[in-house]
Chain A
Amino acid sequence: DAKTTQPPSMDCAEGRAANLPCNHSTISGNEYVYWYRQIHSQGPQYIIHGLKNNETNEMASLIITEDRKSSTLILPHATLRDTAVYYCIVRVGGGNAGNMLTFGGGTRLMVKP
């Protein structure tokens, strides 16, 4: 699976958009971009994933650059409960993906009042 690079930490004001970047310059054509987050002392929570088109769900939006070498996770209106470590992971997706998720260091997002 391709390696990802994320800033170790970011701050965001409550109510503002949080934009979390991720570089994955060695991503392969069949690899998806996944985002998970881990709130302190809990298991990781799936947020969103995409291949090349931008994606949006009730939690967040995912913007993938045209060359797919980087992406941005957007939390449109961050709340204090969004304080967590956010992991960007690239891997083969779909029903036959089978393989484990490889977690990097992630970005520790601190949402401040």
Chain B
Amino acid sequence: GAVVSQHPSRVICKSGTSVKIECRSLDFQATTMFWYRQFPKKSLMLMATSNEGSKATYEQGVEKDKFLINHASLTLSTLTVTSAHPEDSSFYICSARWDVRGEQFFGPGTRLTVL
């Protein structure tokens, strides 16, 4: 149990396009999900906290209009990188907090490359 999936696992896009990344908790409900970004050889940096049915909370320095988050159900959160630029190229990781247990479980990550 406690499996989190992300789709796609890898995406390459052109500069100026938008990319949507899905995060799903497959066998548990998650009112809260988190989105992280990780640059090469760096640690994970929290971007935003996503709550089902309400607006996401963004960390300082993260543009909410650029990184759109939608948490429409207890098992799905999406991150849309709008008007992507090469500097948005990174490894994006989500985690889902299991409502019953309180523990967080991570997805496998999505590698975004913007050309």
> Which of A43, A98, A104 is the most central at the interface, judged by chain B CB atoms within 10 Å of its CB?
A43
Which residues in chain A, 8-29, are within 8 Å of chain B measured between CB atoms? none
B111 at the A/B interface (Cβ < 8 Å)? yes
Check if A46 sits within 8 Å of B43, measured CB to CB: no
Stretch at the interface among A56-64, A67-75, A76-84, A89-97: A89-97
Residues of A within 8 A of B109 (CB): 41-43
Check if B44 sits within 8 Å of A103, measured CB to CB: yes
- Give the docked Cα–Cα distance between A103 and B39 (Å): 13
- Give the docked Cα–Cα distance between A87 and B104 (Å): 14
Check if B102 sits within 8 Å of A97, measured CB to CB: yes
Residues of B within 8 A of A96 (CB): 102
Check if B105 sits within 8 Å of A46, measured CB to CB: yes
How many whole Å from A77's CB to the nearest CB in chain B?
Answer: 25
Residues of A within 8 A of B49 (CB): 100
How many whole Å from B98's CB to the nearest CB in chain A?
Answer: 9
- Give the docked Cα–Cα distance between A87 and B81 (Å): 27
| Chain A residue nearest to B109 in the complex (CB) | A43
Residues of A within 8 A of B97 (CB): 97-98
| Chain A residue nearest to B107 in the complex (CB) | A43
- Give the docked Cα–Cα distance between A95 and B104 (Å): 10
Residues of A within 8 A of B32 (CB): 98
Residues of B within 8 A of A102 (CB): 46
B103 at the A/B interface (Cβ < 8 Å)? yes
How many whole Å from A63's CB to the nearest CB in chain B?
Answer: 21
Binding site for A on B (CB under 8 A): 4, 6, 32, 34, 36, 43-46, 49, 91, 93, 95, 97, 100-109, 111
Q: Can you show 17 pairs from A to B with CB atoms below 8 A apart? A: A41-B91, A41-B109, A43-B6, A43-B93, A44-B95, A46-B105, A87-B43, A94-B102, A95-B102, A98-B32, A100-B49, A101-B34, A101-B46, A102-B46, A103-B45, A104-B43, A105-B43
